[in-house]
Chain A
Amino acid sequence: MTNAPFTPPEPRPSTPESARRTRTIWIGLISGFLFTVTLAAVLAFTPDQLSDIVLSLGLMIALALTSYLSAWLAWRGEVTRAGVTLLASLLLLSLSIPILAHGQGIAIGVIILILGVGISTASLPPRYIRYGNAATIAASVLVVALDQLLPDFGFPSQPIYTQVFAFVSSIIFLYIIVRQFNEFTLRAKLVVAFTGVTIIPLIVLGVYNNSVLSAKLEEESHSRLTTFSQSAANRYDNFFADGINVIRTEAKQNAFQEYLLLPPAQRPNSREKAIAEAALTALQRKDTIFIDSYAILDANGKNILDTSPEDLGRDESAHEYFTEVMKTGAPFASNAIFIEATEQSVYFSAPIKDPANRILGVLRAEYHIAILQSMARDIIANESDIVLSLVEKNTYLRLAYTGGRDELLKSYKIFDPAELAALQAEGKMPPGTSAEVSAGESPAIVQGLDNLNQTPFFEAYSDTLRANAINTGAYLTRQPWVALVRESKSASLLAVQEQTQSSVLLSLALSVVAILMALGAAEVLAAPLSKLTKVAEEIASGNMSARANISTLDEVGALADAFNRMTDQLNGALNSLEERVTARTLDLEIAQKQAVKRAEELQSISEISKIITGEQNLSSLLTLITRLVSERFGFYHTGIFLIDETRQFAALQAANSEGGKRMLARGHRLALGQGVVGYVAKLGAPRIALDVGQDAVYFKNPDMPKTRSEMAVPLKTRNRIIGVLDAQSEKPGAFTETDAKNLSILADQISIALENAQLFERTQQALTEIQALYQQNLKESWAAFGREENMAGYRQTLQGGAKVKQPIDNDEIRQALNRGVTMTFEPNEQRREAVMVAPIKLRGQAIGALQIKASTEDQQWTSDERNLVESISERLSIALENARLIQESQRQVIKQQTIRDMTEKISASINLKNVLQTAVEELGRALPGSEVELRLASESDASKPNSQENAP
């Protein structure tokens, strides 16, 4: 075997093509290996039968060589050619197997199927695989059919190898089927399962039945053959026993004694001779067909009287039938003796004795050997399947043979000429050449005859039966002969063959039925499932209305039912989900709307806040708020109540609606705790009142007859309720908590705005007061300054400037001062020249005026002149104020200096009297011309608070 490790010439990428190549190489090598091993096993274990199985061996060699050839082709890269070569040769060569190895069709069919399917699947290109498989199936079925239907051509075979081969292959195949079972479609699975379920028990049963029947038939055949051989042997034994008995008594005839007692010279033409001869003739008359002659031999073995005159005088002393009788004095039956072509005889002999028991001679009867054949025919009679041969043990000569007529008196053994010549000289073999006297059917027969004691039954090929035959034999007791019977094995196992045939045909028929049933079952079983699958796919693709319409009551029906229910539930779930989604969407929309609304509201709140922040006037702010809230929030009425100083009432301060305005005009106010607004004003929490239940009473306001819902939120600053924002709607249930919250936010903003406005108002008021005070102070300071300086103004004329002691007062100045702006005056009756008066203003307060008289009567004031005057007036006011303030400051500095000096002097004295004195002196010095007194407080002054201020 050349299964040396195989390496492809070059590593190739693992493509499907290269994988196929590798598979093909391996398949070729493995097939070759299997065939080689089988061949080797046959050669090793049955070396002696090689000539018989030479054709089978040739077939195996051809298959092995083809396998290696295909491996080589695949190795060269011609993968498809390799596969086709291997498959084609396997299938074509296998067709000869039913002829060469009859009876092994099923095993061979299995091998072909497995090898063929394996080769085509592994080696052929995918598009050829089905052809390969189909050809394989056809070939295997054909082989099985041929094996069943063709006659046995009688080539010997070794079924055991085939069966082992088939068994191994089957196991591999089953393994592959089991491994790939999951990959089959349901239909294929059902077909495989049905076929398997049908075929496997049939095969098992068939094999079991066959083996049982074979064993039984073989036993029967053996027993029948044994009976036949035994009865044949008995028959021959009896023939010889009878023959001996008969001749023993025949030899006792007086005629023979008397004849022999005559001296030889007197015997010819004697009366005794005639009597003896007549007696002999009479004896021969027993069987004119097979008794060739009766003769009397004298004591020397010379034939002295014979019914066949041509043998007279012949010396027969050398023959056993004479010597034995002379020696033992007992009758004798000879072996077959061949003297010449015409004399092929069996002799019976018996001594002829005188009364003194001396042996006078021998009576011998010559039976033609054909009598044995005649007996054989009689024994076998109508048993055409059984062949009987009466075989001489030493020469293997067929003394009788019911097979072919031409093989009679021919040996099973092929003799070499010398051996044959010796046997012929002894008369043990008929005359003729080795080829003429031998008709060797099979060496196995000679071998089987030799070993008959050890193996009573042996198999050998029979030319006559043209089949392998079972042989058995029985020895004759007297003659060295074997009654060999044989029966064609196929004939003996005809019942098995018939049963196998019917089993195979039944299997084939049942396979068809099984496949049809499988297809039917596939329809019944798989169709609902595939229907269900389709429905599932439909549902998967979105058609939720699809339903499985399966009405069976089995599991599939239950599955379909469950499936439908599941679909229903799914559908329901989907629907409710949709509803929920819709609801959610709606909710979301609402929420979004609300959010938008809220955002808008917040936006409104923000805008309102922004707007109201800009308004500082409280009353216009309130009106603005009511208008804006009403506009932005869509309330038909918005009102603002503020709690009065007494915190007894909440009075309507602003409202946008007509009714509200009427109430405002009416000075509408509500006691805290009264009505919705009063409630909120009292408790500081928002309240929504709807046109239902106990709140219904609030909606009978004649000014607000349309109100169906009302909401009031408190206005608070620093946790103090300052008022209420009241909103009313014509819609019932128009307000929600969210609105309340939003409005609360707005209310907070409003509160802040209100507070701001209030604060601003107050600040404004304070500022006005301060300004008034300041201007008063400024006026007084300038008045005082005038007095102190003794100057009421300054006049500049063409003649020069001079102080004005008395204040200048005229209409023009008065007008300008009153109006606070620069004024020009045309000349009039009282004066001839044009006058321009510019008030000198300090922080809005006129502290004087500049009066400029035109130099000419007709002079007009230009705007430049006016601007110039105004600018100067402004600078002048600042310069004047600065000058006054400097003067003031200097005075203050002096005062402070004085105080410090006084304080230092006072502090320098530690004596109380000095201190007091110093203080008074200094004060008097600081206030020249004044009288200073200092008095210490008495006890009576202690009861008066702040007595220091009023101290004298």
Chain B
Amino acid sequence: MTKKNARLPHTLALLLTLALSSCAPMLQSMQPTPRPLPPLRVGYTQWWGDYTLLVAKEKGYFKEQHVEVEPVYYPVFSDSFRDLAAGQIDGAFIASGDAMNINRHMAVQIIGVSDDGSYMPIVARPEIKAISDLRGKTIGALIGTQYELLILEMLASAGLAPSDVTLRNIEPENLAAAMAENSVQAGFIWEPYTSQLLEMGAHVIYPTDETQRLFPDTIVFRKSVIEQRPEEIRAFMKAWFAAVNYRLANPEETQQIAAQTLNLPAQDIVMDPNLKIFTYEDNVLSYADDQDSPASIYGIAKKTAEYLLASGTIASMPDIESILTPKFLSQE
């Protein structure tokens, strides 16, 4: 090599090193990308209110918001509590009391209201004509949940003491079977099982009215997920409210989507006319209302907490403020 040529590799190396050094800060910003996070797993059950999730998924609202959501179907609603508590799912649509229960094991937060919970009646076998007939009978209920509260109110309305009846832990999903074999004579129920039971000849022995709507379905996520993936949660909520608007306008399509997803006949997807689906505005109102107002989610949560504390399900009054967070409503 001539002397001049011999310099070339050195020059090249020098230039390359220089280029690399100048690129270093840029390259350094290309830090190992974190492992792609799993989709947000959200549990739902057969509930008219929950189908917003399916609509959002099917109609691409989540995709629009660049959030990946995996709906996880729970045939038995209460199973979702366990999975939420075990961290197997990230979110679910549950009542505030359920959230407080779960919160004992896994910190969760209520970030919105899905629906008002509709009328959740207590139905009874045909031979039970009046509440008082329930003395000595067995009533099916989700033991240790706020739903017991309704039963207690009912018993109280008929002058019965809790000890006058036997409370048995029966999921609403299984109530029909239990009532059919007469192991329970009455029970707390919700749609679509209400309709099934009524068809089977059961009757509503204790209806709830608007003032007794204690069990609005809330959108609950694990606190760790909220803290670690707030942008996705925010996107989820955006998609959610978009889907709410859509489903309110298109209930039949919503039914169709649910039927398809759950692989059920459309008629099994009960469109509960009494169920109030909470829009974004409803949510804002619900979060904004005076805590003493029955419409306020805070008020409901507080009342539920008080009951759970009284019933011994929870050991101490939970910090309602920490369970409820409106921060994902401050969008739009």
Contacts and interface: CB of A to CB of B under 8 A. Distances in A.
Nearest to B18: A512
Given A284-B169, A405-B38, A149 B1 contact: no
B267 interface: no
Interface string A132-154: 01100110010001001111100
Contacts of A604: none
Interface in B22-58: 24, 27-28, 30, 32-33, 35, 38, 41
B272 interface: no
B129 interface: no
A508 B17 contact: yes
Nearest to B2: A126
Contact of A129 (B1, B41, B106, B228): B1
A377 B106 contact: yes
B24 A289 contact: no
B167 interface: yes
Contact of B21 (A148, A277, A404, A508): A508
A145 B26 CA distance: 12
B20 A145 contact: yes
A282 B311 CA distance: 9
Given A126-B1, A285-B143, A285-B144, A382 B102 contact: no
Interface stretch (A91-99, A303-311, A530-538, A722-730): A303-311
A373 B12 contact: no
Nearest to A282: B312
A287 B104 contact: yes
A281 B32 contact: no
Contacts of B81: 288-289
Interface string B1-25: 1010110111011101110110010
Interface string A279-307: 00110110111100100000000000001
B106 A378 contact: yes
A395 B144 CA distance: 35
B145 A288 contact: yes
B183 interface: yes
Chain A interface size band reads: 35 or more
Contacts of B291: none
A149 B168 contact: no
Given A137-B13, A149-B30, A508 B183 contact: no
Nearest to A501: B28
Contacts of A137: 9, 12-13, 16
A288 B101 contact: yes
A505 interface: yes
Contact of B311 (A285, A289, A310): A285
Given A284-B144, A370-B83, A289 B166 contact: no
A185 B83 CA distance: 73
Contacts of A278: 163, 166-167
B24 A508 contact: yes
A625 interface: no
Given A137-B9, A152-B32, A370 B88 contact: yes
Contacts of A512: 14, 17-18, 21
A134 B142 CA distance: 75
B167 A150 contact: no
Contacts of B87: 373-374, 377, 402, 405
Interface in A372-429: 373-374, 377-378, 381-382, 384, 402, 404-405, 408
B245 interface: no
Contact of B12 (A138, A310, A378, A501): A138
Interface centre among A130, A368, A402 (most CB of B within 10 A): A130
A151 B24 contact: no
Contacts of B8: 130, 134
B85 interface: yes
Nearest to B8: A130
A307 B169 contact: yes
A466 B174 CA distance: 42
Interface string A160-188: 00000000000000000000000001001
B170 A309 contact: yes
Interface centre among B10, B89, B102, B166 (most CB of A within 10 A): B10
A640 interface: no
B32 A289 contact: no
A281 B141 CA distance: 11
A257 interface: no
A309 B24 contact: no
A405 B9 contact: no
Interface in B223-239: 224, 228
A149 B18 contact: no
Contact of B9 (A130, A288, A374, A509): A130
Contacts of A138: 12, 16
Contacts of A371: 86, 105
Nearest to A153: B32
Nearest to B140: A309
A309 B168 contact: yes
Interface in B77-129: 81-83, 85-89, 101-102, 104-106
B296 interface: no
Contacts of A505: 21, 24, 28
A287 B143 CA distance: 10
B160 to A, nearest CB: 14
B105 A289 contact: yes
A390 B24 CA distance: 42
B65 interface: no
Contact of A508 (B10, B20, B102): B20
Contacts of A133: 9
A484 B5 CA distance: 60
Contact of B183 (A188, A282, A309, A465): A309
25 contacts: A130-B8, A130-B9, A137-B16, A141-B13, A141-B20, A149-B28, A278-B166, A281-B143, A281-B167, A281-B168, A282-B312, A285-B144, A290-B85, A307-B143, A309-B168, A310-B174, A370-B85, A373-B86, A374-B85, A374-B86, A402-B87, A404-B38, A405-B88, A405-B89, A505-B24
5 nearest A-B pairs in the assembled complex, by CB-CB distance: A288-B144, A151-B32, A373-B86, A370-B86, A133-B9
